[in-house]
Amino acid sequence: MQETITIKTDKYNALYDITNKVEEIIHKSKIVNGLVNIYAQGATSAIMIQENWDYSVQNDVISLLKKLIPKGIWEHDKQDGNGDAHLKAGIVGPSETVPIINGKIGLSRWQNIFFCEFDGPRNSRNIVISIFKI
């Protein structure tokens, strides 16, 4: 089974919790045991599993990436000004795969799935959710 989630982003760099949307698709699939792959379509976005309880962790992720990969100093910036976004997306990565266990997503209590925006705001960002039965 495969579905696409579309979200709107409102910041240049931000994490957006998409866990509930992924869980809805898993529930709809009726898969009891399997895998769910979450894939960000876009060269300047990524997927990350991170703590869900305290927003400071999500803010720290963005702060760290901004410090490690500052805006405006990269060769690609001469093309369209988003060299940092491409580098951040490449480091974090475009996808995550999580087990489905007894019909539920196999995240721990403190984990959620986040879409990482590194080149926003955007009116439309697509995330492909692929579910595999095992």
Model confidence pLDDT, tens digit, residues 99-131: 999 999 999 999 999 999 999 999 999 999 999
- On whether the CB atoms of residues 77 and 70 are closer than 8 A, the answer is no
**What DSSP string describes 55-91?**
HHHHHHHHHHHHHHS-TT-STTHHHHS-HHHHHHHHH
CATH number at residue 56: 2.60.120.460
Residues 6+ apart with CB under 8 A from 47: 38, 39, 40, 92, 93, 94, 95, 96, 113, 114, 115, 116, 127
Helix axes 83-92, 55-68, angle to 10 degrees: 120
Q: pLDDT tens, 49-97?
A: 999 888 899 999 999 999 999 999 999 999 999 999 999 999 999 999 9
Considering its fold, how many domains does the chain have in total?
A: 1
The confidence score (pLDDT) of residue 54 equals 87
DSSP code, position 103: T
The mean pLDDT value of the chain amounts to 97
Question: Residue 79 is part of which domain span?
Answer: 2-133
**What DSSP string describes 14-38?**
EEEE-HHHHHHHHHHHT-SSEEEEE
| Predicted model pTM | 0.96
Query: How crowded is residue 8: how many other Cβ atoms within 10 Å of its Cβ?
Result: 12
